[in-house]
Amino acid sequence: MDSLGGNILPLGLNNKLLFAGLATALCAVIGLSRLSKLAKKTDGSPNLVKSLLLFCYSCFIKPHQGDTKGNQQDALESFYGSQADVYDVTRKTLLKGREDMLALVAAQLADKDAVKKGRPHRRVWVDVGGGTGWNIEAMKEFVDVPNFFSAVYLVDFSPSLCEVARKRFARLGWDNVTVVCEDARKFRLEDYETDPQTPRTPTALQSLGYFAEARPQYGGADLITMSYSLSMIPDFYSAVDSLTALLAPHGIIGVIDFYVQSKADFKFRNHTGGLVGRHVGFLSRVFWRGWFELDRVNLEAARRDFLEYRFGTILGINSRNYTLGRIPYYIWLGCHKKPFSPSSLPHEVVERIDAIATESPYLGPTASPATTLSRAVQRTAPEIRSKAFQTAVANLSSNLPLPAFFYQNHHWRIYYDDQLQKHTQFKDEYIYAFTWEDTRVDERLLKLSSNDVVLAITSAGDNILSYAMQSPARIHAVDLNPTQNHLLELKVAAYTALDYEDFWKIFGDGKHPDFLFLLINKLSPHLSSRAFQYWLSNVHIFTKTSGGGLYDTGGSKHAIRVFAWIARIFGCRQAVNEILTAKTLNEQREIWRTKIRPALLSRIVSGFVVSQESFLWAALGVPKHQLAMIEADHAKSEAVCGPNPTAKNTRSHAIWHYMVNTLDPVVEETHVAADNPYYYVCLAGKFSRQCHPDYLSPRAHAKLSRPGALDGLRIHTDEIDEVIARLQPGSLTAAVVMDSMDWFDPGSRMAAQQIGKLNRALRMGGRVLLRSSARVPWYIKEFESLGFSARQAGDREPGRCIDRVNMYASCWLCTKVGNLPPPTPAMDGGEGVDIERLEI
């Protein structure tokens, strides 16, 4: 029997323990019952110990007595009646995240006011399931509630909690708050508001009017909140449905609640705004759902799912209450499925966003909605539709909300499927925390104007912002790694929402102790849901005092740490500090030659660390084909093939010579402390006020923080091929592909395919700016055979510095001089496809 029952204690001892447990429980029930009566008799609120004991009694021991009447209000009162006075004290630890939700919705409302430029209007807030009014009082930390809101309605079905709320607002003297003890499904804002846009329904005709007239499609509430109340509403479908008629056309709804959900439930959804941390393990799902059901809190997935189905998602956050055993909870911000003016239709907005993503002309509606959509389809060939358009059409046809990207306040970020392996392969880490391209050279070569349309690889976004300083008509930033685009989004949002000093701390120093506050209260309205979730999960990058900050993150941190490790081992850390403070170029050269170069460029370091393929990829982003180009150049170099060879034809020697040709000219010809931010940040782990990229200057902030300054930016999370294939032919004037073509296999047709697509996307005279690890890369001949003329804008001969980075052996400007023939439709796509079959 012991083996079957798994019982390892003697039977007699078991009985004693059982009786002891029952006796203890009985004493607790009696004591807590008396405590409950005592609490009700006292005039003031019970102290903390009594409050906690009363909470335990009410939640875990006291039987529910409201079921006999079959009334939800009686059931609520049975649960809350004895603990209404201690509700706020006992829920502070349990109900985590409420302040964050309030801060997020307040930030959204503040942003809408900024767009309206402070025009006064009546602003209404409805707090559904508001209980004791804690949320409304807590909102005072973010806005001046009595003046910011014209009217606030607290709707709750528990008389005891409503009574506590009335006392609260009487004490605060907030006469704009109305407490309504009513079923949330029956609450009608028009019964209380006399605004002409929301006509009041006479109370006497209320029931008749509801059957005789349909409710308006939109209500007048600028803000609706539900704080841990959706999980306690039995008939949640009708409750959520009622909110759609309550919310104003451009209103915001904010919800925070417990949940449990499996990734199998939401894996294939594209409208939820991101899935970071949403999955809850099987055991946790079973435990928390069973635990909360004891108190009639229902955690079934349908509640959150229906909310996300019924509204459009602006932001979605999944978190855990680590104080109380990792209880899962979410914060969700949404708007109407059709978050536009009543005269506009979803497909027209989709068309507009599609046009700015593909550079296709957008024609406004001239006829009925049906003909507008059909005319648009006839006007534009399907193959140059954006993926965002195709996804939006699929959602609209299925009566689903649009993907969350369509509901953002800015349309910088273009929709992408974050569940694809090509995106998840990066494991939520960017490679570059700063860009390794000299934007000063780019500016000189490209000479961008207001007529230019530019496509460029995002990297860390520094170069994108440098191009924006030149005010081209449009910039298409492209990167396959979502987190690189998250970093650019953060910079763009910071321009929009932060003053220069906060901007500098985040991206100049790489640290900001108040980053979490700024992220929630200032930056959140300007970030896509996925970017916001990413930075919320990585707040420590900027706030951790012991860390290295932003520039000690990403794959490139490995190279910086290796250098720091070498400096420590060889005892030249002081010399590094001297480089950073060197007053003259001659002083810098002396420090380099005598103290740093012997350690960093030693054969030992090159052979055992730098020349390793795994290090080159993880730390520097050097793929195998690019490494092969470096080795090929070395094999035919003077050092190997000259009359007096000084090097062997090995990888170690090739990497050593490449490092020498990179670093020696940089130190000899550029002043790191004054004018080389690319190496300054590597040595110091941050930028200085004297030495920093262009985008960090006060002048750049003053220009790019102006309203609409970055409206021409589009951020694509995809391969370059996919983006240029979906651009209107002849729409680009410049493409900056960095060193990406070094990644192609010389034996495949992939480079030729991309060059062909670039040709068709570029106007005549359009330019492709590229850099390469080879002095004359093999694909230059491909450019020349596919309608381009190629000019070498920089050749890093041994001892020569072509720019302040000098990391590449050459820089090229390829100009379109001829059009390619139209693609052959009969050919099938694929890696080995004929170059004439190009998907544009």
pLDDT, tens digit, for every residue of 246-270?
A: 999 889 999 999 999 998 888 888 9
Closest CA to 567 of 577, 558, 557: 577
> Considering only CA atoms, which of 795, 798, 772, 804 is closest in space to residue 666?
804
DSSP string, 63-89: PP--GGGT-HHHHHHHHHTTTGGGHHH
What does the pLDDT look like over 798-816, one tens digit per residue?
888 999 999 999 999 999 9
Question: Residue 648: its pLDDT value, please?
Answer: 78
Which single residue is written with the structure tokens 């308006």?
Answer: 216
What percent of the chain lies above the pLDDT cut of 90? Answer: 55
Characterize 240-269 residue by residue with b for buried, 16 or more Cβ atoms within 10 angstroms of its Cβ, and e for exposed: bebbbbbbbbebbbbbbbbbbbeeeebeeb
**Mean pLDDT within 2-30:** 39
> The dihedral of CA 83, 89, 93, 99: what is its sign?
positive
12 pLDDT above the threshold of 50:
no
User: Which amino acid is located at 601 in the chain?
Assistant: L
Domain boundary, last residue among 684, 716, 741: 684
User: Which contacts of 685-691 are long-range, i.e. CB under 8 A and separated by 24 or more positions?
Assistant: 685/510, 685/548, 685/549, 685/551, 685/552, 685/560, 686/508, 686/509, 686/510, 686/511, 686/549, 686/551, 687/507, 687/508, 687/509, 688/508, 689/504, 689/508
pLDDT-derived band of residue 187, with 50, 70 and 90 as boundaries?
A: very high
Let me know: does 70 contact 24? Beta carbons within 8 Å. no
When pLDDT is cut at 50, 70 and 90, the band that residue 15 belongs to is very low
Quote the crossing angle between the two packed helices 48-56 and 11-41, to the nearest 10°.
120
Q: What is the mean pLDDT of residues 715-733?
A: 94
Q: Could you tell me if 569 and 680 lie in one domain?
A: yes
Same domain, 283 and 361: no
183 and 284 in a single domain? The answer is yes
For residues 704-728, give the mean pLDDT.
94
* Whole-number Å distance between alpha carbons of 560 and 557: 5
* Predicted local distance difference test score (pLDDT) of residue 234: 87
| 394 assigned to some structural domain | yes
Is residue 89 predicted with pLDDT exceeding 60?
Answer: no
Which residues share a beta bridge with 735?
455, 768
Which residue bears the tokens 């939006």?
392
Q: Write out pLDDT tens, residues 27-75.
A: 444 444 444 444 444 444 555 555 555 555 555 555 555 555 555 555 5
Q: What is the pTM of this model?
A: 0.84
Q: Are residues 259 and 400 in the same domain?
A: no
Each residue's pLDDT tens digit, 218-250: 788 999 999 999 998 888 999 999 999 899 988
CB 778 within 8 A of CB 750: no
**Per-residue pLDDT tens over the stretch 375-403:** 443 444 445 788 888 888 888 888 899 99
Last residue of a domain, one of 665, 684, 703: 684
CA nearest 514: which of 526, 524, 502? 502
277 and 184 belong to one structural domain? yes
State the pLDDT at residue 722: 93
pLDDT on residue 1: 34
Q: Give the model's pLDDT for residue 383.
A: 55
262 and 383 share one domain:
no
Residues 288 and 355 in one domain: no
606 — pLDDT class (breaks 50, 70, 90): low
Q: Domain for residue 762, yes or no?
A: no
Range with the largest mean pLDDT of 68-77, 189-198, 450-459: 450-459
Q: What total number of domains does the chain contain?
A: 3
Label residue 769 by pLDDT band (50, 70, 90).
very high
Q: Could you tell me whether strands 788-795 and 124-128 are parallel, antiparallel, or unpaired per DSSP bridges?
A: unpaired
Give 533-540 contacts, CB < 8 A, sequence gap 24+: 533/273, 533/274, 533/276, 533/277, 533/316, 533/317, 533/318, 534/276, 534/428, 534/482, 534/483, 534/486, 535/486, 535/490, 536/317, 537/276, 537/277, 539/515
Q: What is the mean pLDDT of residues 486-490?
A: 97
Name the region of 214 (left: φ>0; alpha: ψ -120 to 50; beta: rest): beta
Residue 49 has what pLDDT?
Answer: 54
Mean pLDDT calculated for residue range 262-279: 89
Is 733 domain-assigned?
A: no
pLDDT score recorded for residue 216: 65
Task: Give the residue among 123, 122, 150, 126 at the shortest CA–CA distance from 136.
Answer: 126
Average pLDDT over residues 318-326: 90
Query: In terms of DSSP bridges, do strands 810-816 and 327-336 run parallel, antiparallel, or are they unpaired?
Result: unpaired
**Angle formed by the axes of helices 346-358 and 387-397, nearest 10°:** 170
Residue 618 or residue 533, greater confidence: 533
Residue 320 has pLDDT above 80, yes or no: yes
DSSP, collapsed to helix, strand or coil, labels residue 327 as strand
pLDDT at 266: 87
Three-class SS state of 363: coil
Residue 707 lies in a domain: no
Q: Tell me, what's the pLDDT at 352? A: 76
DSSP state of 56: H
Nearest to 272 by CA among 231, 217, 313: 313
pLDDT > 90? residue 754: yes
279 and 383 share one domain:
no
Q: Are 298 and 304 in contact (CB under 8 A)?
A: no
Distance of CA 522 to the CA centre of its chain: 14
Is 567:576 a contact under the CB 8 Å cutoff? yes
Q: Check whether residue 191 and residue 302 sit in a common domain.
A: yes
Indicate the average pLDDT of the chain.
Answer: 82
DSSP string, 91-155: HTTTSTTHHHHHHHHHHHHHHHHHHTTT-----EEEEET-TTSHHHHHGGGTS-HHHH-SEEEEE
pLDDT exceeding 70 applies to what percent of the chain?
77
Helix, strand or coil for residue 812?
Answer: strand
| Alpha carbon 701 to its chain's center | 22
Q: Tell me the residue type at 103.
A: A
**Domain membership flag for residue 832:** no
For 389, the domain range is: 346-407
Alpha-carbon gap, residue 250 to 193, rounded angstroms: 18
Q: Residue 118 CB: number of other CB atoms within 10 A?
A: 7
Shared-domain flag, residues 278 and 402? no
Least confident of 76-90, 188-202, 740-754: 76-90
Does one domain contain both 321 and 387? no
Same domain for 362 and 252, yes or no, is: no
Q: What pLDDT does 58 receive?
A: 54
List all residues 6 or more positions away from 804 whose beta carbon is below 8 Å from its beta carbon: 438, 440, 666, 670, 675, 676, 677, 678, 679
- For residue 678, being part of any structural domain is answered with yes
Q: Give the pLDDT score at 643.
A: 79
Segment 82-91 mean pLDDT: 52
Alpha-carbon dihedral sign for residues 448, 706, 541, 600 = positive
Query: For residues 300 and 811, what is the distance between their CA atoms, to the nearest angstrom?
Result: 58
**390 within some domain:** yes
Q: Mean pLDDT across the stretch 150-164? A: 92
Q: At 158, is the pLDDT very low, low, confident or very high (cuts 50, 70, 90)?
A: confident
What would the pLDDT profile of 505-517 be if each residue is shown by its tens digit?
Answer: 999 999 999 999 9
Distance between CA 459 and CA 466 in Å, rounded? 13
Domain boundary among 385, 407, 429: 407
Residue 64 lies in a domain: no
The CATH code of the domain that includes 139 is: 3.40.50.150
Query: For 728-733, what is the mean pLDDT?
Result: 94
